[in-house]
Amino acid sequence: MRRAGLGLALVLIAGTGSAATLDSAPRPKPRPVASQTVVPAEAPVAALLAARPQMRPEDDAAPPGAGAAPVAGPGLALRPHPRPTVAGAPVRVREVMADLTLERSARPEPRPRTPYQTASLAAAGIRTQPSAILTPRGGVVCGDPAITGQMIAPIPGRIAGCGVDRPVRVTAVDGVALSQAATIDCDTARALRVWVSDGIKPAVGRLGGGVASLKVFAHYACRPRNNQKGAKVSEHGRGHAVDIGAVTLRNGVSMTVARGWNDASQGKILKRIHRAACGPFGTVLGPGSDGFHKDHIHVDTARYRSGSYCR
């Protein structure tokens, strides 16, 4: 009887210890569940990205009983986080981004009308007002980067023989400013550029710092020669002529044809300038040619079979 009681006691003790062992064993902690963030559809993309659940270190490990995670580089064992939802429906970030792009995109402004559109019409033979400007002010004209000015609309002649089909208004030539914009054609503008570059600038040299500007006495004007009634139409009336009355230096000194032609120092330079015009221009007239040109040098691009006429 004593032995049976001892055996029963041992069995009870063993059972109690086993139960205690089971109760005291640590239980595995439940895996954290990523929260479902509700984001309104109109929320910006930055808010959607901020609402994504953050990755935790324990998420990289494989779940218990799943075996070892494949080792093939970082990020392969990570589980995708649930996407943010709106009232239980997943939010599509691309759609939100597309909506934001459409709302923020700037509408193209209407293209302004440029003077080149008018220029194309004028080139086709459509006449407009003579004062209409066809190219921007201060641009390159006549295909020569050394000629600054603007192209203007064709000028109809008020009398027979006058007018310019493709006039330009020149403001500077080879860096030398004109005292007033000269309305001429491109042939005359190119001849003026050659005269300034190869004739006037070398004749002046470094005197007074070089050439600063030219004093323009006359350019386009629909009139007879020398304003004499009954005479032929002047080359000024065709946009072929320019009258230069003085050369101004950078130090402010002005060498005028009227006073400097017979001067001991200025006279030599002005006469060299006069001679250099023969060639680029077909006609060159200055003091001594007649009484009409005693205070300026007249140049035009009229051509003669016998060559340039220089007086």
Mapped onto helix, strand or coil, the DSSP state of residue 59 is: helix
Which pTM does this prediction carry? Answer: 0.58
CA–CA separation, 271 and 110 (whole Å): 56
Q: Tell me the β-bridge partners of 213.
A: 177, 248
What number of other Cβ atoms are within 10 A of residue 167's Cβ? 24
pLDDT band at 121 (very low <50, low <70, confident <90, very high): very low
Q: Average the pLDDT over each of 24-33, 64-73, 239-248, 252-261 and give the range with the smallest value.
A: 64-73
Mean pLDDT of the chain: 74
Query: How high is the pLDDT of residue 305?
Result: 77
Taking alpha carbons only, the member of 259, 279, 282 closest to residue 270 is: 259
CA–CA separation, 94 and 113 (whole Å): 39
* 270, pLDDT greater than 70: yes
Token pair recorded at residue 51? 């609402």
* 119, pLDDT greater than 50: no
Judge whether 153 and 127 are in contact, CB under 8 Å.
yes
- The mean per-residue pLDDT over the stretch 178-187 comes to 97
What number of other Cβ atoms are within 10 A of residue 143's Cβ? 8
CA–CA separation, 87 and 41 (whole Å): 10
Q: Tell me the β-bridge partners of 86.
A: 89
**How much of the chain exceeds pLDDT 70, in percent?**
56
Query: How high is the pLDDT of residue 153?
Result: 95
Most confident of 113-117, 125-129, 249-253: 249-253
> By CB neighbour count within 10 A (0-12 exposed, 13-18 middle, 19+ buried), where does 60 fall?
middle
Token pair recorded at residue 10? 């041992």
243 CB-near residues (< 8 Å, 6+ apart): 216, 217, 218, 219, 236, 296, 297, 298, 299
pLDDT band at 303 (very low <50, low <70, confident <90, very high): confident
242 CB-near residues (< 8 Å, 6+ apart): 182, 184, 188, 192, 216, 218, 219, 298, 299, 300
CA–CA separation, 80 and 53 (whole Å): 10
Q: Enumerate the domain spans of the chain.
A: 115-310
